[in-house]
Amino acid sequence: MSEKGSGKKAAGKKAPEKAEKKRPEKKATAKKAASRKPGPQSRKPAARKPSRAGRRRGPSPADIAGLVVLALTVSLAACNGMTGKGKEKASAETAPEGQVTVRFLDVGQGDAVLVRSPEGKTMLIDGGRSTVLMEQQMKTYGIDKIDVMVATHADADHIAGLVTAASAKPTLFINNGLGGSTKTWERLVSALQAQKTTFRKASNQIINLGSVKVQVIAPPPNMGSDQNDNSVGVALQFGDFRALMTGDSERKETAAWLEQDRAEIAGPFQVYKSIHHGAANGDNPAWLAVVRPQNVVISVGENNYGHPTKTALDLYKQNGVRIYRTDQNGTVTFTGNADGTYTVNTQR
């Protein structure tokens, strides 16, 4: 099923998807991009050809080399405080083509993030707690092949849905190396083994998901055996468009990552997932000051934990971060361009 067709179907159940355009600076950048370089990169997602045949071919070696140069340029820009103009010029010269989508799937209380590269490569980060809801999402978004599956940690609200998603034959599975002792974990391992999926422990590897660079952020050493504090982080980069997700990492883990002074957690990020469903022990001022997200998505459903907490919501508001919630907005989709511009669509 194509993305476009299925998106319509999903929207038909509720209110149609609406494009959010409240943020003035976003409008401005989108307009600027359109006037600077017409063509696929400035197209609205609706104009994109949804079929497999319409998808672009993989990047040429020159494109890949360009991406490396761009990554270097961006990191240099971050270090030297290069002007916006300079950054834009670099992107225009070397940016990969097409658009990346980052979808925060509405799976109730839990996490599930679906990423698609312009080439149609698919990554699923966590799967929520419900096999039924994951199955619905797989139909809605036509998830029939997963190239990379990540379990940030082995708690049920992150891996139960992955058991269902294993039917999409993941090529690679990455986790924190701490297998759960639960039946759910055992079911997931069996399902992945049946699909001959390759297992890899998170080790700060970089994965090319088509032209999207995926930086795996391994849990720091000495985090003990707590699952939350051993959450695997994932930072995505598509030209100047960046997204960061770190599972249910609590302060102990984010503080240790900050100690490591890692470039891949240094913002700004256009897209960011609220840590631990907006719990009070997740996002904190020191961490957010480094990550500097523009938009935060809280993956949350009906729960008894008080998620999202006022503490987390206040923190985002104080930092001027635009808030989306899957319990209120349904599935939230960001469509990113290599020049760093993006559009946001919410299911409701």
Residues near Zn ion, by CB under 5 A: 157, 248
Q: Which residue type sits at 27?
A: K
Please give the Cα distance from 176 to 196 (Å, whole number): 19
Residue pair 152/247 in contact (Cβ under 8 Å)? The answer is yes
Q: Nearest approach, Cβ of 246 to Zn ion (angstroms)?
A: 11
- Tell me the HSE value of 184 on the side-chain side, using a 13 A CA sphere: 18
Residue pair 339/240 in contact (Cβ under 8 Å)? The answer is yes
Q: Which residues contact 47 (CB under 8 A, 6 or more apart)?
A: none
Q: Nearest approach, Cβ of 111 to Zn ion (angstroms)?
A: 6
Q: Nearest approach, Cβ of 157 to Zn ion (angstroms)?
A: 4
Distances (CA, A) of 87 to 77, 84, 186: 7, 5, 47
Q: Is the dihedral of CA 131, 132, 137, 138 positive or negative?
A: positive
* Cβ distance to Zn ion smaller for residue 202 or 338: 202
Q: Nearest approach, Cβ of 239 to Zn ion (angstroms)?
A: 30
* Cβ distance to Zn ion smaller for residue 133 or 212: 133
Q: Nearest approach, Cβ of 241 to Zn ion (angstroms)?
A: 26
Beta-strand relationship, 269-273 and 293-298: parallel
* Cβ distance to Zn ion smaller for residue 45 or 161: 161
Beta strands in the chain (DSSP E): 18-20, 99-104, 113-116, 122-125, 148-150, 172-175, 198-201, 206-209, 212-217, 233-238, 241-245, 269-273, 293-298, 322-325, 332-337, 342-346
* Cβ distance to Zn ion smaller for residue 91 or 274: 274
* Cβ distance to Zn ion smaller for residue 33 or 133: 133
Q: Nearest approach, Cβ of 138 to Zn ion (angstroms)?
A: 20
* Cβ distance to Zn ion smaller for residue 75 or 303: 303
Q: Is the dihedral of CA 90, 93, 97, 98 positive or negative?
A: positive
Q: Which of 226, 223, 218 is nearest to 202 (CA)?
A: 218
Q: Which residue type sits at 252?
A: K
Q: Nearest approach, Cβ of 307 to Zn ion (angstroms)?
A: 9
Q: Nearest approach, Cβ of 260 to Zn ion (angstroms)?
A: 23
Q: Nearest approach, Cβ of 120 to Zn ion (angstroms)?
A: 29
Residue pair 287/246 in contact (Cβ under 8 Å)? The answer is no
* Cβ distance to Zn ion smaller for residue 67 or 300: 300
* Cβ distance to Zn ion smaller for residue 88 or 157: 157
Write down how long the chain is: 348
Q: Which of 279, 106, 126 is nearest to 253 (CA)?
A: 279
* Cβ distance to Zn ion smaller for residue 66 or 247: 247
Q: How far is the first Cα of the chain from the last one, in angstroms, to the nearest whole number?
A: 22
